[in-house]
A and B are shown apart, each in its own frame.
Chain A
Amino acid sequence: MKPAVFDYHSPADLEEALRLLDEFGYDAKIMSGGQSLIPMMNMRLARPQVIIDINNISELSYIQVTDSVIKIGGLTRHYQVEESKEIERVCPLLTEGMKLIGHSQIRSRGTIGGSIVHADPTAELPVMMTLLGAEFTLASPDGKRTVTTDEFFLTYLTTTIDMNEILVSIDIPIPSTRTGYAIDEFTLRKGDFAIVLAAASVTLSEDGTIASASLCLGGVDGVPVLLEEVTEGMIGQVPSTELIAESCEQIADLVEPEPDIHASSEYRKDLCITYAKRVLERAAERAALL
């Protein structure tokens, strides 16, 4: 389990990284945290000819919180988001969700951009980003473009990112004040990739009715799935266990998860309903406390 030979470049700034990426094209692979790529290289399932290591590009590592948006640099590490008091204040979902990612060793090294670009549909970050309506800024030698999660995630481990692009920044809108969040997942062991993962947000109006709500599931399809059908009927109503349970029943008709050795399709579906209910209830409870 030793990686095959590769050429190694460790550019000091984004410009150089983009130049190298342009030069080597499909032979090159960006190395960010490496927590998914290096295992694949150790197993020789991935054999990039060229590694462009962006770990020294300090300009890509930052957290900025303004009144309306959280900006996170692509190279920012999981633990930095997990431990950021600012983020916990404005978007506690991220704090809660980061703790579900692997174990502390993984979070020391893994990066936000890396996880998003890896696009594992059972991973926490793609689901959270989708729920939160994040936008990703991709840089290439030709400039920058910004894409939504819907445009970005295409299917399993596949995104719209071009061969010569790097995810440099993530923008997460900060929602109105009375929004409660929750994320939870079903794993056989703590820290494993989830069998089913659910995240929800519920925003309450002054009168205690639901102003808006959203629900995103992971592990049910090739990309995180935003289930507007489930939440749109809840708007204008007072949150209750019954309302949430009733709304979530339709999930069985909305998702068709693939079976694997750990869970059948039926069971995953069943777990989706359970976890959807759990996160929606929790999010509503939390919103009520704000």
Chain B
Amino acid sequence: MTIGSSVKRIEDPRLITGQGQYVGDIKLPGQCEAVIVRSPHAHANILQINTEKAKNLPGVCFVMTGEDLPTDLDPIPMRLAPNEALTKALQYPLAKGKVRYVGEPVALVIASSRYIAEDAADLIDIAYEPLTPITDVHKSILPETSLLHPEIGSNDLFIIHSKKGNVDELVEKCPYVLEEDLYVQRHSGIPMETRGLLATIEENGRLTVYGPTKVVHFNIQILAKLLKKNIKDIHFIETDVGGGFGPRGEFYPEDYLIPYAALKLGRPVKWIEDRLEHMKATNHSREQKHHVVVGFDETGKIHALKDEIFVDTGAYIRTHGVTVPVLTQGMFAGPYDFEALEFITHVVATNKTPTGTYRGPGRFEGTFVRERVIDMVAKKLNMDPTIVRERNLIQPEQMPYSNGISALGQVVEYDSGDYPQILERARLAMKWEEFADKKLQARRDGKIIGLGFAMFVEKSGLGPWEFCEVEFAENGRLICKTGLADIGQGVETALAQICAEQLGIPYSNVTVLHGDTDEIEKGNGSFATRGTVVGGSAAWYAAEALKQKLLSFSSELHGFTKDELDIKDEWIIQVSGGQKICPLAQIIVECQKQGIELREKYTFSIDHMSYPYGIHAAEVAVDSETGKVKIEKYYIAYDVGRAINPMLVHGQLVGGMAQGLGGAIYEELKYDETGQLITGSFMDYLLPSSMEVPEIDIEILENSPSPLNPLGVKGAGEGGTVAVAPAVANAIVNALDQYPIHITSLPIRPEQIRDAIKKGIVTNEVEPL
């Protein structure tokens, strides 16, 4: 059995010996290097650009500005959730006449080395006329604020409204109503490897680009369209990738500029984003303001919930379109059965870096708001917050359950799940029943501790399809070609395990190819936690077809019916009795001799997503003198339907938690009122280190396999991230239940906690009706 075992990764031997090949590691003869000159202003007119001095610097081979772009060039289109109304807010590869965020590309400089290119960039003289920067969503939509994209007619670029039932009516009837403003700060994926590209022109005139990832087959279409080239004349090659997390691999201005420059120059052009660029050029994410109204009764049952959301989308609409706002709404209700829901989401333009997805897009934000609100409801009623959760959960017998709100073009319909059971597990694991005593004892010892929970539902396995091709090579190894991309998550190992399971071979005999558009005929790529679900299912079926071919050939050769045979441990065996008939290798050789092609392709299509679910729980200790929080115990239970490789699922959850913790306490892409990013380096943008991330207990559950795919799998990529902030926040609030603490925004700062403690003990916060 290969599926379900924690085998070691096939990717690792290269990576641990320094033999990985990331895009920056590739060096082509005659290559030159690019630097992007970026706007230092949040909002300004470009009056004049003087590139003479730069062009004259020895070693410089190419300089271009927005004026040099082809006049018929289209802006970079939306990949997901495209919307006609938003096409007027798309970004061109270089600014034309106006800049709208700090970091916007204004000029491209190419020289014999990055060092000289930076020297030349310093020599480009740009005259700007600064305009008033817009850095706040509420100010942005005031009538007197100037428009960032006048053709749209408003900085409130797009409003998404969806509802189920009549919220207002129900709220009216509720004995309790809670109204809150909550805020999730801007932060992002920040992979350890920055973006990079290397474009070169082959002898036959074809353009080869190293460095695309995530959605390689989609991006090659965008590039072909923008360059007005035949797609056959372009070749994308994915290299090793140092982390994806959402932002990496989308189509950015540089994805056009670098290939364009290579075509112009006729020599290889390399661009490796530096870290300071990355912080302001690569997609930001998460920044949302929520205004929530919930109506509930004395039992803790929530009847209606309304949320008006303001998404700070930044200066332009990028490839994700309105994916994040749409997912925020669609997944907002989480594991709860609310009778009425209403969402009004405003996609608002500001003079900040444009945004896109980041691990758990929309769910990180929505889960924070929802799970905080649940605890606030509990506090108001003086109830156990886990009981409030319990009273609102969707019951297993309600599955499949539709929450009535749509996301990514489909109404959210949870496929399977036992939510009450996972809540109970967490309560037991964290010893919730005994916690009140423990807390009291701690208080006697002068320690402040608290325990918080946060539940969530994730989505995974976004279609519409994925492709896989499997073939036995002459040397007997199985070649598996997938339309997925490997951004470091272990796709090769997972697919090798799936193929190996079907074909009765060791997973180490499988070579997985991905991301090379010449090798793999089509694909949708790795995003939205779809890899194992959709790509894995394609591999499963392709390998099965190949298996059937082998069995049918064996049955003829050895005089059995096909149904009597199977493959096990590299042998063709007889199903009844398990008798070995013939080594698989022999059959492969025989097929090859007879010219039977041992190759199968499969395109797996799926209409509906699958919905993994789980719970996070945090026990924290608060330093009363500083407000600093220490996570004493952290627990995640996550039902992924079926784990192909539990070790990899575990790794995804722990790693995801670390990113969630960053968003909860440490990370913020903060702007000042002039639109300058003031946390634009690793000195100020605080990624958690090994000293901040605690040990994490993980329970991987397989209680609710997805009925929507042959493997029963649901995705594992994002569940570690989405519920960290509310779990930690609820734990802090629980710890400080004697103090006036009210956490409604992220990141949670020790200063805020210390302030509450300094204000002193308030005996009873429960308000009367």
Contact = CB atoms under 8 A, between A and B. Distances in A.
Direct A–B touching in the complex (beta carbon < 8 Å)? yes
B274 A1 contact: yes
A4 B122 CA distance: 10
Nearest to A270: B754
A48 B137 CA distance: 42
A254 interface: no
A43 B276 contact: yes
Contact of B754 (A3, A4, A267): A267
Given A189-B689, A190-B691, A261-B684, A274 B625 contact: yes
B114 A189 contact: no
Contacts of B670: 261
A289 interface: no
A255 to B, nearest CB: 17
Given A186-B626, A189-B686, A192-B686, A2 B691 contact: no
B82 interface: no
Nearest to B684: A261
Most-contacted residue by chain A among B114, B625, B678 (CB, 10 A)? B625
Interface in A62-108: none
Given A44-B122, A261-B684, A267-B754, A1 B275 contact: yes
B251 interface: no
Contacts of B678: 261
A106 to B, nearest CB: 13
A1 B275 CA distance: 8
Nearest to A271: B626
B11 interface: no
Contacts of A267: 751, 754-755
B688 interface: yes
Contacts of B115: 2-3
A264 interface: yes
A190 B692 contact: yes
A170 B663 CA distance: 43
A264 B751 contact: yes
A188 interface: yes
A44 B117 CA distance: 13
Interface in B298-343: none
B438 interface: no
Nearest to A188: B686
B168 interface: no
Interface in B570-628: 625-626, 628
A44 B118 contact: yes
B208 interface: no
A189 B688 contact: yes
A236 interface: no
A186 B758 CA distance: 18
Interface in A266-283: 267, 270-271, 274
Interface residues of A, number: 22
A193 B115 CA distance: 29
B703 interface: no
Contacts of A5: 119
A9 to B, nearest CB: 20
Contacts of A193: 683
B245 interface: no
A38 to B, nearest CB: 14
A263 B119 contact: no
Given A261-B678, A261-B679, A270-B754, A191 B691 contact: yes
Nearest to B679: A261
Interface in A177-206: 186, 188-193
Contacts of B691: 189-191
Contacts of B122: 4, 44
Contacts of B275: 1
A43 B682 CA distance: 12
B465 interface: no
Nearest to A190: B691
Interface in A24-45: 43-44
A189 B276 contact: no
Interface in B736-755: 750-751, 754-755
B358 interface: no
Given A188-B666, A270-B758, A2 B688 contact: no
A142 B684 CA distance: 42
Nearest to A278: B625
A235 B684 CA distance: 41
Most-contacted residue by chain A among B678, B679, B681, B750 (CB, 10 A)? B750
Contact of B626 (A2, A44, A262, A274): A274
A264 B758 CA distance: 15
B276 A1 contact: yes
A191 B684 contact: no
A2 B689 contact: no
A263 B666 contact: no
Most-contacted residue by chain B among A186, A188, A274 (CB, 10 A)? A188
Interface in A42-56: 43-44
Interface in A215-266: 261-264
A191 B692 CA distance: 11
Nearest to B275: A1
A23 to B, nearest CB: 25
B669 to A, nearest CB: 11
Contact of B692 (A2, A186, A189, A263): A189
Contacts of B751: 263-264, 267
A266 to B, nearest CB: 8
Contacts of A44: 118, 122
Contacts of A261: 670, 678-679, 684
Nearest to A193: B683
B365 to A, nearest CB: 22
Interface string B663-684: 0001000100000001101011
Nearest to B750: A188
B543 to A, nearest CB: 46
Interface in A152-175: none
A265 to B, nearest CB: 11
A271 B119 CA distance: 44
B663 to A, nearest CB: 14
Contacts of A4: 118-119, 122
Contacts of B119: 4-5
Nearest to A3: B115
Contacts of B754: 267, 270
Contacts of B684: 261-262
A261 B683 CA distance: 12
A242 to B, nearest CB: 16
B3 to A, nearest CB: 40
A43 B680 CA distance: 12
Contacts of A274: 625-626
Given A5-B119, A188-B750, 5 more contacts: A43-B681, A44-B122, A188-B666, A189-B691, A263-B751
18 contacts: A1-B275, A2-B114, A2-B118, A4-B119, A44-B122, A186-B628, A189-B686, A190-B689, A192-B686, A193-B683, A261-B670, A261-B679, A261-B684, A262-B684, A267-B751, A267-B755, A270-B754, A274-B625
Interface of A: 1-5, 43-44, 186, 188-193, 261-264, 267, 270-271, 274
Interface of B: 114-115, 118-119, 122, 274-276, 625-626, 628, 666, 670, 678-679, 681, 683-684, 686, 688-689, 691-692, 750-751, 754-755, 758
Across the A-B interface, give the 10 residue pairs with the lowest CB-CB distance, nearest first: A190-B691, A1-B274, A274-B625, A267-B751, A2-B115, A2-B118, A189-B686, A2-B114, A189-B689, A189-B692
